[in-house]
Amino acid sequence: MAVLRVDQRYRTLRTTIRAAFGGFSVWCLYLAIDSVAGKTTAFQAAITVGFSLLWDIRFVVAFSLAGFASLWAAGERWLRHRKVNFLQERIKELELKVDPRRSTSGLTTKGRTNPRDRD
């Protein structure tokens, strides 16, 4: 049941990010067109908007994608550590059933390397 809730939150977050990116793109397009509206002739406006809009959109999209990818990676990492922490007790229990003399690997409850092993 908890897996379904985490999956649902993940999907909701993913949909929210997509909708926010779409809205942000439309907003940038509106600002680019609005900045030249009524100030120049239609031909000059088309050329100006075409070149400046292309550069603005590429710039905004590049930085937006980089930012969203970073947020996505941080979220994925957080979810992975949370899931490992949730399942680690059950894994220990199952491993001890197979071999009661089994020793620990020294990993933390979140699956990270033991800080003493880094030295």
Break the chain into its structural domains and give their ranges: 2-110
Calpha distance 34→48 (Å, rounded): 12
Length of the chain in residues, anyone?
119
Calpha distance 100→53 (Å, rounded): 66
Q: What is the pLDDT of residues 44-70, one digit of tens each?
A: 666 666 666 666 667 777 888 888 999
Residues 6+ apart with CB under 8 A from 60: 24, 25, 28
pTM here is 0.41
Calpha distance 68→31 (Å, rounded): 22
User: Is residue 9 over pLDDT 90?
Assistant: no
User: Is residue 16 over pLDDT 70?
Assistant: yes
